[in-house]
A = this chain, B = another copy of it.
Amino acid sequence: MGSLTEENYIKSIYALSEATGEVYVSELAKKLDVKLPSVNSMVKRLATKKLVAYAPYKGIKLTEKGKKEALAIIRKHRLAELFLVKVMGLGWEEVHDIAEQLEHVNSSRFYERIDELLNSPKFDPHGEPIPDSNGKIHTQKRTSLIDLAEGLTATITAVTEDEKSFLDHLNAKGLQIGDAVTIKKRELFDGSITLQHKSKKEILLTHQVAERIWVEMTVTRS
């Protein structure tokens, strides 16, 4: 295992490569909030350790070894988040920051027990899939709320952010994973969406918020 810093680089490279394919040194610098030369030298170190392959102007790519390490850290992060919610009773909006620390705990026993206590869970509290202990991850195809036509009903399965401010916002709106929602109105002007919620309340979401919410279409029978 590498240092804490190294682990955070690997994790960020993985996340960015999922989102955008290539990862540029400059992107990584922005994500990690460090300056370019810092990233440059770390990427060299990671390349020496065969954790990444790097070609300037072409981007950084994790090697198999790097990918495996990334998935191990993500597994620990997500297991920790779910544990904090299910076993310790914390809110889904407050677990990410703690998991950022717990993901670096080096103890197979600790994570074995968490996995057992949660009965080998498949999803974290934000609907993100938890890689299994071999690093296998089930990526689902996802539909965003903004891609749903008026009148359709769907179930919220995940959100793409675990930043506290975003989750606080959803809490305030009364939205949770598992909730069924119907698209009442889509505004052409600003992309905002009005939902009909099980609570009978109508909920207005801006485009910015709605696009971060993933849903699964509710099966409709004739």
Residues of A in contact with B (beta carbons under 8 Å apart): 84, 87-90, 94, 97-98, 101-102, 105-107, 109-110, 113-114, 117
Contacts and interface: CB of A to CB of B under 8 A. Distances in A.
Contact of A113 (B89, B107, B117): B89
Count of chain copies: 2
A107 B90 CA distance: 12
B101 A97 contact: no
B102 A105 contact: yes
Contacts of A107: 97-98, 101
Contacts of A101: 105-107
Contacts of A84: 110
8 contacts: A88-B110, A88-B114, A89-B117, A94-B109, A98-B107, A98-B109, A98-B110, A102-B105
Contacts of A90: 109-110, 113
Given A90-B113, A101-B107, 6 more contacts: A88-B114, A88-B117, A89-B113, A98-B109, A98-B110, A101-B105
A94 B112 CA distance: 13
A84 B101 CA distance: 17
A111 to B, nearest CB: 10
Contacts of A114: 88
Among A89, A94, A106, A109, the one with the most B-chain Cβ atoms within 10 Å of its Cβ is A109
Contacts of A98: 105, 107, 109-110
A192 to B, nearest CB: 33
Contacts of A88: 110, 113-114, 117
A49 B222 CA distance: 73
Q: Which 6 A-B pairs have the closest CB atoms?
A: A98-B107, A88-B113, A101-B105, A98-B110, A94-B109, A90-B113
